[in-house]
Structure 1
Amino acid sequence: MTRTPRPPRPVPPPDLQGRGRPDRFLTGLQRFSAAYIKLTLTRSPRPGADGERPTDLVVTAREQLADDVVALRLADPDRRQLAPWQPGAHLDLDLPSGRRRQYSLCGDPADRYAYRIAVRLIPDGGGGSAEVHRELTEGTRVRIAGPRNAFPFAGDTKVLLIAGGIGITPILPMAYEAAWRGADFHLVHTGRTRDSLPLAAETARLARRHPGRVELRSDDVEGMSSAADLLARAPEGAAVYACGPSPMLDALRAAFPQSPATALHFERFTQAPITGGKPFTLRLRDGRELDVPADRSALDVLRDADPATPYSCRQGFCGVCKVRVLAGKADHRDRRLTEAQRTDGEMLVCVSRADEGACLDLDL
């Protein structure tokens, strides 16, 4: 029998993406988050720490997890405690070139003296991953902001966790949290080849401690898995958390209504497809007019004109690509700016647009 999900409802925090069907997550997230943060702060005071203020850390260890994946351990050079974090959180890294990129925390939240991230090299990406692999050696100082959480884990009692490739980075801490809480959980880590799956040692350790709850599926060993097959592993009434390539996430969303789960929460590593886009124009201070097609973002067009245009998440929540609109009405599609900021003319060009045929004068 096909189940029809209700229309999506806003879920705090505003950056969370998911599908809306009745579940305890949607009604209890705020209460849980408030209690969890209060408990964390009570157990682990953080003298002088501020999770929202950039902090200079140093790379204290570097580990090659796979041919194209490197893990970094970041610590305060004065060995001070770092701000606490919850599974699903990420850091903003200001790289030596001036680029800002976001990477999920994949270490132990109980370790208050170090953050751990894992970065996969993307040869045809925007250069951030290549810079991490090339420049961030042991002893390198790097400025961070965060941790911030746009993909929170609510401690559901029944959980299916699905990770595609490097998508294991936010998912693995969720698995450890679910195990610690005694939840009915199942973790599936998928990838093209078994050797390419990062964090394999940690995943294997979790599998030994919790037999039957951790599953590796690679195309070269088990063959490709369909989204329906993956979702069939969900216990009745479970919440699903997924992170990985956009095609995988899109397939999971399409197959979700027929699954036994009641909620799907996910995080993308790449820009979401543009839906309902209309062509419009950007006008720069020097008089240039740039046409934005229906299937491209304003950020893409601006980067064609100036490759140094700053950006990071490409999903409307980090704020790095913020510009000021001097004239014209923006169609705001971000989940970060306040109404006051929008009224003041601010716009995130990675996701926000304008009406068909309209022109936005930018302070660029």
Structure 2
Amino acid sequence: MEVILFMNIGQSAFTSCNVAVMGVEVRVDSNLGWLPEQRMFGMWETSLDLDLSTSVTLVRTSDSPRWKLAKAGLRVEVGSSRVTRVSNPYFSAALFAAEIHRQQTGVFQLHAAGLNLPGGAVLLTGGSGAGKTITALRLCAEETVAYAGADRCQIGLREGKLALLGHWRNTRLRSSSALMLAHREAIRRRWSQDVLDWLGTVESGWDAKRTVSINDLGLAPLVDAAPISAIYDLRVLPPGSPLAVKPMLPRDAVYALAASLGDLTSGFLMVLDDDGRPLMPAFHDAFPGPSDQRTALAAAAHRIPRFRLRGGPDEVCRYLIARHGA
């Protein structure tokens, strides 16, 4: 599949490069005068060996910004948006090309934490700030818990069941979350000196972020696939808040899963140029292959128990450990 991006900027000769994005080799051809660098995609390194390749071609047009299907794949038209190295389409175009190619083979990413416990794999969904990362990293202090992702995970169907697939090699750590976790000795002793040194420089920078290797956090990764036994819509409340667990209707579970898929499928494609105008409009799934795969995922999710889980951080972790046998 080829993704073609048309842009209205100055002329220059075509140059090419290859970048690895989410297990997909993406060829980028561009006449914009510069190309993306592999380090831009550090957050998107996966353990999955998908053996997939695709391409992205960036050229020019004076058309208004829009996505549309072309004979070669997807055509992305960006009108008069001004593009610089700070606001550029390379990251989103390459990421989107890889994502659609993965979806066509049945591999999706989800805005959720994914963990494999002895009693079965679990998904922790919820919006930004729900507590997914803190809960995931706390649970991974248990020797029997395998990590798939703290804020995003990869899912697909295995023998008709919804399953976690492999793990992300890196995660984005907020200093606020890291400082709270570092007070727990069982977690802190797993972290590399590099991470601890970074924490020593950000105590006053509450919103600092850093991409960190899971090896530097001492996390045991999920190596293969693990069938998902339960899905939790999570909200971590202030310490000491009582635990509340309420079953969700199957219909609500499917809607929530669809929303979690949509968070990433469209969200990373909204890019603004230096003048605050859309550089690439948000994408809405139009390919028959991924649409069919999504329908199958929704049907599989319908059969998985799903709960709304609310409570303080200790209460939430104790509940998940007790229920799923960590």
| TM-score w.r.t. length of structure 2 | 0.28
More helix by share: 2
| TM-score w.r.t. length of structure 1 | 0.25
Higher relative contact order (CA 8 A, sep 6+): 2
